[in-house]
Amino acid sequence: MSTNVTLEKLSRQFPRSVIETHTYRGDATAIVRKEEILAICTFLRDDPELAYNFMMDLTAVDYMGKEPRFEVVYHLYSLSKNQRVRIKAQVSEADCAIDSIVSVWVAADWFEREVFDLYGIVFKGHPNLKRILLYEGFEGHPLRKDYPVKKRQPLIGPLN
């Protein structure tokens, strides 16, 4: 068991959902089941001893060839406690969706849209899930490791 307060509380509160925890050079990380991501984020924000009130970053990683293939990675910060935690939620290619955390941190809005656009991971319950960096006719998700580098995209004409 880690001596990190955040990881200890998270493991006690969600014993079936926390797959693994570790710290490295002061960075705390928890790997969790995606089914509880909304509850986990709400707990981390609302617990007064933790108070993770700032979602700094949300991104994804493609581990092509492994299953689950993707991880959605959340970087959280507590302004009052000066603590950081990294939460990783595993997402399979077959069920490439996870709950949106926009209801917990509004700042997650554009981050989730970016991950949807570039990796194709769907954020269930997102209020406006649509492409943010690429045009609507773009085919595929360019940050997936199996995206063909020389793929030609359909041309779009001038808007009327």
As a whole number, mean pLDDT of residues 74-94 equals 97
Q: Are the CB atoms for 40 and 17 separated by under 8 Å?
A: yes
Q: Is pLDDT at 158 greater than 80 in this prediction?
A: no
The arithmetic mean of pLDDT across residues 42-57, rounded, is 98
Does the pLDDT value for residue 157 go beyond 70? no
Q: Is pLDDT of 153 > 80?
A: no
**In CATH, what number is assigned to the domain containing residue 14?**
3.30.460.80
- Structural domain contains residue 156: no
Q: Could you read off the pLDDT of 20-42 as tens digits, one per residue?
A: 999 998 899 999 999 999 999 99
pLDDT-derived band at 1 (thresholds 50, 70, 90) equals very low
In a domain? residue 16: yes
108 closest CA partner among 93, 95, 121: 121
| Distance (Å, whole) CA 144 – CA 61 | 9
pTM given for the model: 0.91
Around Cβ 65, how many Cβ atoms within 10 Å?
A: 8
Q: Is 65 part of any domain?
A: yes
- DSSP count for the chain of H helices, then E strands: 3, 7
Question: Is residue 157 in some structural domain?
Answer: no
> How many domains does the chain divide into?
1
Q: Which domain holds residue 19?
A: 5-101
Computed over its alpha carbons, how large is the radius of gyration of the chain? 17
Q: What is the mean pLDDT of residues 150-158?
A: 74
Beta pairing, strands 70-78 & 54-62: antiparallel
Name the more confident of 135 and 115.
115
Residue 92 falls inside a structural domain: yes
Quick check: is 24 in a domain? yes
Q: Residue 160's pLDDT is what?
A: 62
